[in-house]
């Protein structure tokens, strides 16, 4: 079982829609969670990170963590065509030397059409 699972989509929505992107994770010990956005032919860029259960809001984006069900979500309000990208959830997996690195889900492709 992978440490973090994500539906690859694609998810196609009209402009202005509310988008919900989801991931499940396997290890209840993870303390914080990240969402990255990756445009075509670009590297991932950090969108949001959140430490605790509950919601964290940043503009049109809201990250939500439910530790009891090991479920993380990203909501995008008033979606725009410029939001079309792949959204990757990530957890901080530990390396053998004790460092932590982002370990990614496979990403969900989002298409927002005008």
Partner 1 sequence: DTGVSQDPRHKITKRGQNVTFRCDPISEHNRLYWYRQTLGQGPEFLTYFQNEAQLEKSRLLSDRFSAERPKGSFSTLEIQRTEQGDSAMYLCASRAAGTGSYGYTFGSGTRLTVV
| Residue ranges that bind partner 1, judged by CB under 8 A | 6, 8, 32, 34, 41-46, 49, 88, 90, 92, 95-97, 99-107
Q: What minimum distance in Å lies between the beta carbon of 41 and partner 1?
A: 7
Nearer to partner 1, 76 or 104 (CB): 104
Nearer to partner 1, 15 or 53 (CB): 53
Nearer to partner 1, 32 or 71 (CB): 32
DSSP state of 83: G
Q: What minimum distance in Å lies between the beta carbon of 62 and partner 1?
A: 17
Distance (Å, rounded) from C-alpha 18 to C-alpha 32?
24
Nearer to partner 1, 11 or 17 (CB): 11
Q: What minimum distance in Å lies between the beta carbon of 20 and partner 1?
A: 19
Q: What are the strands, taking DSSP E only, across the chain? A: 4-6, 11-14, 19-25, 33-38, 45-50, 54-58, 61-66, 71-76, 85-94, 100-104, 108-113
What is the chain's Cα-based Rg? 14
Check if the beta carbon of residue 89 is closer than 8 Å to that of residue 50.
no
Q: What minimum distance in Å lies between the beta carbon of 109 and partner 1?
A: 9
């Amino acid at each position: 079982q992978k440490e973090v699972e994500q539906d690859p989509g694609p998810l196609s929505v009209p402009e202005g829609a509310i988008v919900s992107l989801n991931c499940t994770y396997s290890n209840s010990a993870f303390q914080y969670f990240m969402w990255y956005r990756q445009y075509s032919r670009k590297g991932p860029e950090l969108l949001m990170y959140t430490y605790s259960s509950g919601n964290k809001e940043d503009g049109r984006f809201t990250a939500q963590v439910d530790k009891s069900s090991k479920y993380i979500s990203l909501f995008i309000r008033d979606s725009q065509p410029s939001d079309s990208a792949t959204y990757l959830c990530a957890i901080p997996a530990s390396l053998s030397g004790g460092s932590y690195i982002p370990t990614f889900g496979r990403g969900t492709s989002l298409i927002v059409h005008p």
